[in-house]
Structure 1
Amino acid sequence: MNKKKKQIVEAAQTLFIKKGFPATSIQDILEAANISKGTFYNYFSSKTECLMAILTFIKEEVIYNRQQLSLGKTSSDRHVFVQQIAARFHIDKKHNLMALFASLASSDTAHQELKDFLNQQYLEEITWMAERICEVFGEERRQHAYDNAAVCFGAIHLTSKILMDIGKTEIPIEDTIYFSLRQIEQMNAHPPFLKADYFLPYHHEKNYKEKDVKTLLHQTLTDIDSSVKKLQNEKLSYYQAFLLEQLESNEPNLFLMESVIASYQNALHGTKLEDKGKYIQILFTQLIAEV
């Protein structure tokens, strides 16, 4: 981040915490950062975009810290997992995000774009936790990974609030995390409630690093090919064959594919493959963005 952008972000973050996001105007940010309106709009189109940039930088700090904690350690190391979860809480505390989120929760003017952004970050955190639970507790947890992640995540937050309410703030967050992990060790006696397919749109970043998007899109379509045929939908089968044919070409017709994928997703609506359809749409959007 360059010096000027950092200057704006730091001023905005201080104001959002002090005054609350809804009460902070762009003019307030201009005065605090000692910049012109033109300079602000060189970097951000709105104060909502400015806030999302702040939260993105904080998220990147969390990711970096978690990567550093895992260096030279095995992925199944439970202590590392606890430290990685705690990293989010320590960094949020450092940036005083609780005060910021409190102002957002009480706001009736928060933009839908911002709400969607926050939901995306929250669901990505759940997805990260589900993957790490499989690494720490073993692949046999895969079927219940999202149930475990939801319960663990909820237990950490609720227990932390209870401890705060009764004045036991000296208890380290790591102790609360260990307590929450012990709770999920007792689970998994029943069929999973949260299915992995529900979360496909929230863990594509990991897949992008492992494979290029075109290959991943082709693989996803191939994986569900037999399931698509079982639906006995002639139009859907045509869409499926067309998309696979295009992805196997050196120069796929992205314009035609865009239209077909919209119809493909609509055809999957209400079926057991609906979540796969959403994931395919996300992958295709990413593919277009890379062209």
Structure 2
Amino acid sequence: MNKKKKQIIEAAQTLFIKKGFSATPIQDILEAANVSKGTFYNYFSSKTECLMAILSFIKEEVIHDRHQLALGKSSSDKEVFVKQIAARFHIDKKHNLMALFASLASSDTAHQELKEFLNQQYLEEVTWMAERICDVFGAKKQKHAYDDAVTCFGTIHLTSKILMDINKTEIPIEETIYFALGQIERANLHPPFLQADYFLPYHQIKDAGEQDSKIELQQTLTALNSKVDKLKNDKLTYYHHFLLEQLKSENPNLFLMESVMNSYQNALLHTELEDKRKYIQILYTQFMEEKRENS
């Protein structure tokens, strides 16, 4: 991360926790970070975007730590899974996120962009949990993975709160996680409540290098070829195959892709493929950002 950007993020995080998000003017961030207003707006369009950058930075730290914990270990190793879940709680504690979120609770959080960002992060975490439950407990958990993920997260958070309320904070979070996993290990006798398709837009892109996001987007569009053709929508078919051709190119025309992607998204509305729009947009946005950063 750029040094100046990191200075701003660290200063803003400290001030948001100390004074509250709403009560912290941008001028205070500038003074604490020792940067000019122009430098701030070179990286962030608003205070809200700065907060989102803080949360993204913390999320990347969690992803990194989880990856490190998994190196050289079996994906079905339950102990690794417990440590990976605990990593989120340890990192949140290190960054004092509880105090940060408390300041948000008392502030004007009507910003739709921030709400959507927080929801996205939460649902990505649920999706990660569901995938790891399948890794650890096997295919038998596939149908109920999202039910189990929600149950597990709910159990961890509520149990942690109760332990704090009764002053049992010395109990390690790992023990609470083992307890929560124990609740989902028994066989699921009911039909699944949360369907996997609900969470399609929240799957994280693995190994998010430029080539990986490009391949992921290309594979996603390729998988829809037959369904797009069956819709017999000439405009949709043209946009779809144009984007695929650009993705196959070593030097895609980013300007044309931007225009066509907007039209493609609109063409998907009110079709049986409408639920794929958000996931495609997420992949496309990441691909474009990485292309621009590397240009």
Q: Same fold (TM over 0.5)?
A: yes
Q: Give the 5 Å matches for 1:13-32.
A: 13-32=13-32
| TM-superposition CA deviations, 1:12-57 (whole Å, max 9, x none) | 1111111111111112212323333233333322222221222122
Give the AA of the match of 2:140. E
Q: Give the 5 Å matches for 1:71-110.
A: 71-110=71-110
Report SS of the residue matched to 1:21: coil
Percent identity of equivalent pairs:
69
- Describe the shift of the 1:164–1:203 C-alpha distance in structure 2 as closer, same or farther (beyond 3 A): same
- Describe the shift of the 1:176–1:204 C-alpha distance in structure 2 as closer, same or farther (beyond 3 A): closer
Question: What stretches of structure 1 of length at least 5 have no aligned partner?
Answer: none
Report SS of the residue matched to 2:144: helix
Report SS of the residue matched to 2:142: helix
In the TM superposition, residue 212 of structure 1 has moved relative to its aligned partner by 4.5
250, 260, 264: which one aligns with 1:261? 264
In the TM superposition, residue 74 of structure 1 has moved relative to its aligned partner by 1.0
| TM-superposition CA deviations, 1:123-156 (whole Å, max 9, x none) | 1111111111111111232222111111111111
In the TM superposition, residue 11 of structure 1 has moved relative to its aligned partner by 1.9
Specify the alignment match of 1:54 in structure 2: 54
In the TM superposition, residue 244 of structure 1 has moved relative to its aligned partner by 4.1
Question: What stretches of structure 2 of length at least 5 have no aligned partner?
Answer: none
Specify the alignment match of 2:197 in structure 1: 197
Q: Which segment is superposed worse, 11-20 or 220-229?
A: 220-229
In the TM superposition, residue 233 of structure 1 has moved relative to its aligned partner by 4.8
Kindly indicate whether the alpha-carbon contact (under 8 Å) linking 1:52 and 1:117 is maintained by their aligned counterparts in 2.
Answer: yes
Kindly indicate whether the alpha-carbon contact (under 8 Å) linking 2:130 and 2:145 is maintained by their aligned counterparts in 1.
Answer: yes
Report SS of the residue matched to 1:90: helix
Specify the alignment match of 1:136 in structure 2: 136
- Partners of 1:179 and 1:228 lie apart in 2 by 46
Work out whether 1:159 is the aligned partner of 2:159. yes
Kindly indicate whether the alpha-carbon contact (under 8 Å) linking 1:221 and 1:240 is maintained by their aligned counterparts in 2.
Answer: no
Specify the alignment match of 1:115 in structure 2: 115
Kindly indicate whether the alpha-carbon contact (under 8 Å) linking 2:236 and 2:268 is maintained by their aligned counterparts in 1.
Answer: no
Kindly indicate whether the alpha-carbon contact (under 8 Å) linking 1:265 and 1:278 is maintained by their aligned counterparts in 2.
Answer: no
- Partners of 1:247 and 1:6 lie apart in 2 by 37
242, 247, 255: which one aligns with 2:244? 247
In the TM superposition, residue 210 of structure 1 has moved relative to its aligned partner by 10
Q: Which segment is superposed worse, 6-15 or 76-85?
A: 6-15
- Describe the shift of the 1:139–1:95 C-alpha distance in structure 2 as closer, same or farther (beyond 3 A): same
Q: Give the 5 Å matches for 1:172-191.
A: 172-191=172-191
- Partners of 1:210 and 1:7 lie apart in 2 by 26
- Describe the shift of the 1:245–1:132 C-alpha distance in structure 2 as closer, same or farther (beyond 3 A): same
Kindly indicate whether the alpha-carbon contact (under 8 Å) linking 1:261 and 1:281 is maintained by their aligned counterparts in 2.
Answer: no
Aligned residues: 285
TM value normalised by structure 1 = 0.84
Kindly indicate whether the alpha-carbon contact (under 8 Å) linking 1:265 and 1:274 is maintained by their aligned counterparts in 2.
Answer: yes
Give the AA of the match of 1:168. K
- Describe the shift of the 1:214–1:37 C-alpha distance in structure 2 as closer, same or farther (beyond 3 A): closer
- Describe the shift of the 1:19–1:116 C-alpha distance in structure 2 as closer, same or farther (beyond 3 A): same
- Partners of 1:228 and 1:93 lie apart in 2 by 47
Report SS of the residue matched to 2:269: helix
Give the AA of the match of 1:91. I
Aligned-residue CA RMSD (Å):
2.9
- Partners of 1:40 and 1:256 lie apart in 2 by 30
Kindly indicate whether the alpha-carbon contact (under 8 Å) linking 1:52 and 1:114 is maintained by their aligned counterparts in 2.
Answer: yes
In the TM superposition, residue 218 of structure 1 has moved relative to its aligned partner by 4.7
Specify the alignment match of 2:70 in structure 1: 70
In the TM superposition, residue 263 of structure 1 has moved relative to its aligned partner by 4.1
- Partners of 1:123 and 1:48 lie apart in 2 by 20
- Describe the shift of the 1:107–1:202 C-alpha distance in structure 2 as closer, same or farther (beyond 3 A): same
Kindly indicate whether the alpha-carbon contact (under 8 Å) linking 2:86 and 2:177 is maintained by their aligned counterparts in 1.
Answer: yes
Give the AA of the match of 2:236. Y
- Describe the shift of the 1:256–1:93 C-alpha distance in structure 2 as closer, same or farther (beyond 3 A): closer
Report SS of the residue matched to 1:199: helix
In the TM superposition, residue 208 of structure 1 has moved relative to its aligned partner by 5.4
Kindly indicate whether the alpha-carbon contact (under 8 Å) linking 1:254 and 1:288 is maintained by their aligned counterparts in 2.
Answer: no
